[in-house]
């Protein structure tokens, strides 16, 4: 019963002036108000929509770079079979590629694109869809 009463009867925090006086008596310096304001401003700025947009754009650019590198890694296999693959663009979770040479008319192009899709999804850790770009 006494334990429950202890929780209810805790004394409130000392007023700021009393806390500052106690710090001075203990030989501690008061916190620097300008440093606290700067820190608060940085935290508030990090939560702005512009900061979130910049971070999302940087992440998207990083994904495009990684997708381009993965396709470049696979390109020798396509060229060995008489074809080629080229990254056209990335739109969210859609990766649009252009197949040329023997790959353009191949009946196994769907399976090949599935293999590319699986590799990109495995490496980047989120689902992507690889779609052929039809150029006339």
- Give the Cα separation of 84 and 76 in Å (integer): 8
User: What is the pLDDT, as a whole number, of residue 11?
Assistant: 60
pLDDT given for residue 103 in this prediction: 87
pLDDT digits (tens), the chain, 136 positions: 555 555 555 666 656 666 667 767 776 666 666 776 777 677 766 656 665 567 777 777 888 999 999 999 999 999 998 999 999 999 989 999 999 998 888 899 899 999 999 999 999 999 999 999 877 5
pLDDT given at position 17: 67
Q: pLDDT value at position 111? A: 93
Q: How far apart are CA 36 and CA 71, in angstroms?
A: 48
pLDDT of residue 136: 52
* pLDDT attached to residue 70: 93
pLDDT score recorded for residue 42 = 72
As given in the structure block, the two tokens for residue 87 are 């990254």
What is the structure's pLDDT at 89? Answer: 93
**CA separation (Å) from 115 to 43, 70, 76, 78, 94?**
43, 12, 15, 12, 15
Alpha helices, DSSP H, located in 1-80: 2-8, 16-26, 33-46, 49-80
């Amino acid at each position: 019963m006494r334990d429950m009463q202890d929780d209810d009867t805790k004394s409130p925090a000392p007023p700021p002036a009393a806390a500052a006086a106690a710090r001075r008596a203990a030989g501690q310096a008061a916190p620097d108000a300008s440093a606290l304001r700067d820190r608060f401003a940085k935290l508030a700025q990090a939560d702005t929509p512009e900061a979130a947009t910049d971070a999302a754009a940087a992440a998207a650019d990083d994904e495009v770079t990684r997708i381009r590198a993965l396709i470049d890694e696979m390109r020798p296999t396509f060229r060995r079979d008489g074809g080629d693959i080229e990254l056209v663009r990335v739109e969210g979770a859609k990766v649009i590629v252009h197949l040329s040479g023997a790959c353009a008319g191949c009946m196994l192009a769907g399976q090949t694109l599935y293999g590319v899709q699986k590799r990109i999804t495995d490496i980047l850790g989120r689902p992507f869809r690889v779609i052929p770009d039809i150029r006339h």
